[in-house]
């Protein structure tokens, strides 16, 4: 009769009995465990991400203020619903005037409970906004998110000015990599898909040749083979989620990305006047 194989945590615990003296030795020990097939690649990546979280601050991960997708307190219900459907987010900072004045958080699910537009008062549906300093470390923020069951925080600088926002998903993605949801591509779907808003959702792995054929563009594939490579080559870095790039008469918005990889893009065909500008 075969004995049960030790669990991942049992194997890791036995390795840690060697008492590494610092983080570098611990990481080297983990890599050694991976090389000896005691630790799989996913477990190694997650462990490294968890260790790194204590060294990463909120400012390194947050969505900057200029790129925040917000709702104005004066917006009518019809416009809010359309905006929620367009962006696909579950939470929105609500502003009164400019982006510096965030007065609360709107949950998209609360819109389902509104019975009549005539009685709609956005202020009555706001949840309190949580404000955190941009210097806060991700491991501390994750602990606070878990305790408070809050999923979004507004980031402020040392002068109490709003400089961005961060969600629990942003924090987790730094540890475990990109998190897929029900709006992401299924594996058996094509690389290019037209959604209900008239925009195209494009996988970053789409070959430039296939992209050119679909959009009648003429991007070169001499320096890179994929659409993701095209964007990375243009920017010289991995873009953040919701970052936009205009190329060849098209607007590319990053739909999914983490600190290491670009996954998918939303592509909009620009009007001729904008494309020529």
Residues 133 and 202 in one domain: no
Number of Cβ atoms within 10 Å of the Cβ of 38: 16
Confidence of residue 274 (pLDDT cuts 50, 70, 90): low
Which domain range does residue 227 map to? 192-276
In this structure, the answer to whether residues 32 and 67 fall within a common structural domain is: no
Q: Note whether 32 and 93 are same-domain residues.
A: no
Residue 242 belongs to a domain = yes
On the question of pLDDT at 66 being above 90, the answer is no
Quick check: 116 pLDDT over 70? no
Q: Is the residue at 261 inside a domain? A: yes
155-214 confidence digits (pLDDT tens): 999 888 999 999 998 888 777 665 555 445 554 457 898 875 678 889 999 999 999 999
Number of CB atoms found within 10 A of residue 98's CB? 11
Residue with tokens 């989620």: 241
pLDDT of residue 19: 55
Q: Are the C-beta atoms of 62 and 133 separated by less than 8 Å?
A: no
Q: How confident is the model at residue 18 (pLDDT cuts 50, 70, 90)?
A: low
Based on the fold, state whether residues 239 and 205 are members of the same structural domain: yes
How does residue 3 score in pLDDT terms, banded at 50, 70 and 90?
low
pLDDT average, residue stretch 244-257: 89
Mean pLDDT of the chain: 81
| pLDDT, mean of residues 206-226 | 92
CATH label of the domain that carries residue 245 = 3.30.465.10
Q: Is residue 53 included in any domain, yes or no? A: no
Identify any residues that bridge with 105 across adjacent strands, giving them in sequence order: 93, 127
Res 183: pLDDT: 45
pLDDT exceeds 80 at position 146: yes
The verdict on 200 and 268 lying in the same domain is: yes
The domain boundary residue, chosen from 118, 145, 176 = 176
Please state, in angstroms and rounded to a whole number, the distance separating the CA atoms of residues 107 and 131: 17
Do 91 and 170 lie in one domain? The reply is yes
What's the pTM? 0.55
Please tell me whether residues 73 and 169 are part of one structural domain.
yes
**Residue 198 contacts residue 82 (beta carbons within 8 Å):** no
More confident residue, 50 or 100: 100
Q: What is the mean pLDDT of residues 235-255?
A: 88
Task: Evaluate if residue 126 carries a pLDDT over 90.
Answer: yes
Q: Both 29 and 137 in a single domain?
A: no
Pairing of strands 131-133, 152-156: parallel
Residue of higher predicted confidence among 86 and 186: 86
Residue 182: its pLDDT value, please?
42
In a domain, 138, yes or no: yes
Has residue 182 been placed in a domain? no
Q: Is residue 239 part of a domain?
A: yes
Domain containing 154 — which CATH number? 3.10.580.10
Cα–Cα distance between 157 and 263 in angstroms, integer? Answer: 30
Number of folded domains that form the chain? 3
Fill in the DSSP letter of residue 263. Answer: E
Average the pLDDT over 61-66 and give the result: 88
Task: Quickly list H helices, the chain.
Answer: 8-16, 23-35, 41-53, 77-87, 138-148, 168-176, 208-215, 227-235, 272-276
pLDDT tens, 22-44?
Answer: 667 767 777 777 777 766 666 76
Q: Are residues 218 and 245 in the same domain?
A: yes
Same domain, 32 and 69: no
- How many whole angstroms separate alpha carbon 83 and alpha carbon 197? 11
What is each CA distance from 184 to 29, 38, 138, 180, in whole angstroms? 35, 32, 25, 6
Q: Which of 223, 189, 228 is nearest to 207 (CA)?
A: 228
Same domain for 133 and 241, yes or no, is no
- Do 172 and 196 sit in the same domain of this protein? no
The answer to whether residue 183 is domain-embedded is: no
Final residue before a domain boundary, out of 149, 176, 203: 176
Residue 206 covered by a domain: yes
Q: What is the structure's pLDDT at 54?
A: 76
């Amino acid at each position: 009769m075969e004995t049960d194989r030790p669990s991942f945590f049992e194997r890791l615990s036995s390795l840690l009995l060697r008492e590494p003296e610092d983080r570098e030795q611990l990481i080297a020990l983990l890599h050694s465990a991976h090389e000896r097939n005691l630790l799989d690649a996913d477990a190694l990546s997650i462990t490294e991400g968890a260790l790194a979280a204590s060294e990463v601050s909120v400012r390194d991960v947050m969505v900057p203020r200029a790129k925040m997708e917000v709702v104005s307190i004066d917006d009518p219900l019809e416009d809010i619903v359309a905006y929620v459907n367009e962006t696909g987010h579950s939470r929105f900072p609500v502003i009164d005037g400019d982006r510096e004045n965030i007065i609360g958080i709107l949950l998209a699910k609360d819109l389902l409970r509104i019975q009549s537009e005539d009685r709609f008062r956005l202020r009555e549906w706001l949840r309190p906004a949580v404000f955190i300093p941009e210097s806060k470390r991700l491991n501390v923020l994750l602990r606070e998110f878990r305790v408070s069951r809050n999923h979004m925080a507004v980031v402020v600088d040392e002068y109490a000015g709003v400089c961005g926002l961060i969600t629990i998903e942003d924090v987790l993605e730094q540890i475990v990599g990109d998190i897929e949801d029900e709006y992401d591509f299924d594996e058996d779907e094509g690389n290019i898909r037209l959604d209900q808003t008239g925009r195209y959702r494009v996988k970053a792995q789409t070959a430039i040749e296939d992209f050119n054929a679909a959009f009648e563009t003429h991007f070169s594939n001499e320096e890179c083979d994929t659409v993701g490579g095209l964007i990375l080559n243009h920017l010289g870095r991995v873009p953040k989620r919701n970052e936009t790039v205009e190329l060849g008469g098209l607007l590319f918005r990053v739909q999914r990305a983490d600190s290491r990889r670009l996954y998918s893009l939303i592509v909009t065909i620009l009007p001729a006047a904008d494309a020529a500008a």
